Structures are given as structure tokens and as C-alpha cells.
Amino acid sequence: MKLNVRKVTKQFGTKAAVDNISFDVEGAQFVGIIGRSGAGKSTYLRMMNRLTDATAGEIFVDGVDVLSLKGKDKRDWQSQCAMVFQQFNLVPRLDVVSNVLHGLLGRRSTLASVLNLWSSEDITRAIEILDRLGIAEQAAKRAEALSGGQQQRVAIARALMQDPKIILADEPIASLDPMNAQVVMDTLKRINVEDGRLVIANLHTLDTARRYCDRVIGMRDGRIVFDGTPEQLTLGVARDIYGADETFTESATSTELSSLAPDREYAAAMLSD
Ligand SMILES: Nc1ncnc2c1ncn2[C@@H]1O[C@H](COP(=O)(O)OP(=O)(O)O)[C@@H](O)[C@H]1O
Ligand SMILES: [Mg+2]
């Protein structure tokens, strides 16, 4: 798979939330986008998934500009690049399997969806996906009864139900404790490596970006200010991305929040959403 992002801009009034960004991805990489709150990370993912329209630019996926797609082609594209959100976006009172089956909504008639007319093949597949992610025994429970980490795995299962080429994850672990964060990141990594799906994840912590990504893109004020490997993401580079001075340390953007001193926690809170 080839992704070629060309001069993409999103203007809100006079403010460019995403300002003329370009980058290329070849193959099913695990790409992390980092940067402080307001850098434009979510806006980029939302444009790519066509939840919001770009002001200018193109995003070519295998040579097709997905920003110019309309009608059915646009909906097909949206099911090819599934979104995973910080707040899971499940239907809390609905059981887990039904939440996973909702991944098929874009592909079915409204009537069949409203009546919950799932085929037995669909249900079997949903349970297989839950089983693969280690949460099949939760299938009959209401989504709201699960832990945050389990709910995010349900959201990933819902995304997989679409059999997407690309998974776009917007701060998928920002609401999770370190242990659940690791399980969710491991899950995304498996889907990336075992299935060959491109993953683009907005991440709010440096240690996670270093540990899981093949490639890290740093955004600041809507622009790309770093594009490289985790090894190239030095403390100096990180300071530049986050617009911080010498007092900025690694732990200020670590997922291990529980081990931080109070002042560091404050710094982390300032940097995250
Ligand atoms: N719907 C909107 N209307 C106006 N401004 C917006 C809207 N969405 C985002 N922005 C602005 O665009 C900038 C980038 O936001 P966002 O993409 O959410 O950043 P990030 O995800 O990196 O925190 C911010 O300044 C934000 O206030
Ligand atoms: Mg965001």
C-alpha cells in the first residue's frame, strides 16, 4: 500500500489547524503522530477518514485521491479506513457482539440495521474477532460493564469487522491506565504486523510512540516538524515538537503517569488533551 499526502490544509476561519502537510508511507507501517494538544493531529485523521473536508490538498491511497471521492465511493473508503477513538464510542447499553456488528453498518441497508438482522455468518465472525482479541467471554455483556481496556478492544473488534486496509486511532490509550494501555497498543501492533494493515495512531506519550511505531511524525501548530524513526526521536527533537524548554523531560509525556512526581503529572496534564 502507498499513502501519499500532498499539501493538505484545514482552515478554521483564519486559523490553519493543519497547515500544508505532506508525507509518504510505503507498506503497512505503524505510524505514530505526536504533538501537544491543538497541534492538528485529530483534524488530520478526520480529514483522512472524510469526517471533515480538507480546505486544500490531496491524500492518495494507491494512487486514488480519497479526498475527492463522493457518494458510494466515499462510504466505501470510510469503511476501508476504520477509526478508533479515545472514548471508544461504543453504544454503552448494547451488548458487546452487537457493538462489533455495528462495524458493518456502512455496508448494509438501513432497514436491516434497524431491525438488527445480522446473518449467522456475521455473528460468527464477530465472535471470532472478539476471541482473537481475548474478549470472547465478554460477548453477551453490555459494553458499559467492561473495563476501559476491554471496551477499547471491542472498538478495535468493531473496526476489524469492516476488514479495513487502514486503522486510524485517535489517542486510543489516553483514557486508559498503563496496564490497559499496553494491552490495547499490543492489540493494534498485532493487527498491523499479522494482518498487514497500516495503522496511523495519534499518541500523546513519547514512550509509547518509541516502543510501538516504525515511524513517528511530529506536529506543531499544524505543521510537520519531525518525520523519522523512533531512534531519531531524541529528547532535543521532542522538546522542539512539544515547544518546551530545557525543563522538559521524557517523563513529562510518559504513559506511566502513576510513577510520576506531582510536578511531572502537572506537566503531563498540560501536554495531553
Ligand atoms: N471544529 C473546529 N472548529 C474550529 N477550530 C477547530 C475545530 N476543530 C479543531 N479546531 C482547532 O484546530 C486546532 C487543531 O485541533 P486538533 O486537530 O483537535 O488538535 P490535536 O488533536 O492535535 O489536539 C486547534 O487549535 C483546535 O482548536
Ligand atoms: Mg486530538
41 lines ligand 1 (CB under 6 A): yes
Buried b (16+ CB within 10 A) or exposed e, 200-223: bbbbbbbbbbbebbebbbbbbbbe
| Res 252: pLDDT | 66
Tell me how far apart the alpha carbons of residues 48 and 168 are, in angstroms, rounded to a whole number.
9
| Res 248: pLDDT | 75
pTM comes to 0.90
Half-sphere exposure of 136 (CA within 13 A, CB side): 10
Q: For ligand 1, atom 10, name the residue with the nearest CA.
A: 17
| Res 233: pLDDT | 94
40 lines ligand 1 (CB under 6 A): yes
| Res 105: pLDDT | 78
Domain boundaries, the chain: 2-271
| Res 204: pLDDT | 86
Q: How far is the CA of 42 from the centre of ligand 1 (A)?
A: 7
Per residue in 82-119, pLDDT (tens digit) is: 999 999 999 999 999 999 998 887 666 666 666 667 88
Q: For ligand 1, atom 3, name the residue with the nearest CA.
A: 12
Nearest Cα neighbor of 100 from 87, 112, 89 is 89
| Fold that domain 2-271 belongs to in CATH | Rossmann fold (3.40.50)
Q: How far is the CA of 83 from the centre of ligand 2 (A)?
A: 13
Ranges of residues in the chain whose predicted pLDDT is under 70: 106-116, 251-252, 255-273
218 lines ligand 1 (CB under 6 A): no
